[in-house]
Amino acid sequence: MKITSTEIDKKVCATKKTTTSGSNFSKYAEETSGTRNDTKVALCGGEPNGDGSAGTNTEQQFLHDFVRETLKGDSSKNWPTSTGKANGGKTR
């Protein structure tokens, strides 16, 4: 799913920068990571737990990325709630 207006698409579900590095953004995935160096999130517009040192994601992502990577295109995963791991790796 992609919003046809590029201005609106850049405002909906925009990923956040990490608080420590300032140059890496959160990256949409099926599950939010609970590790300190990973930026994977499964929440629309979610802020990453980690700093991105496990791999950099310097490009901001938006709604169409969220649908593709987190909802898997057909909303069968992570809707209406998202999946994540708490510190220690337990799925919540």
| 9-41 pLDDT per residue, tens | 788 899 998 877 778 899 999 888 888 888 899
- Tell me if the pTM is above 0.85: no
* Amino acid 71: pLDDT: 87
Cα 44-82-68 angle, rounded to 5 deg: 55
Residue located via tokens 């990577």: 69
Q: Which residue type does 87 have?
A: N
* β pairing state of 27-28 and 40-41: parallel
Separation of alpha carbons 39 and 19, rounded Å? 11
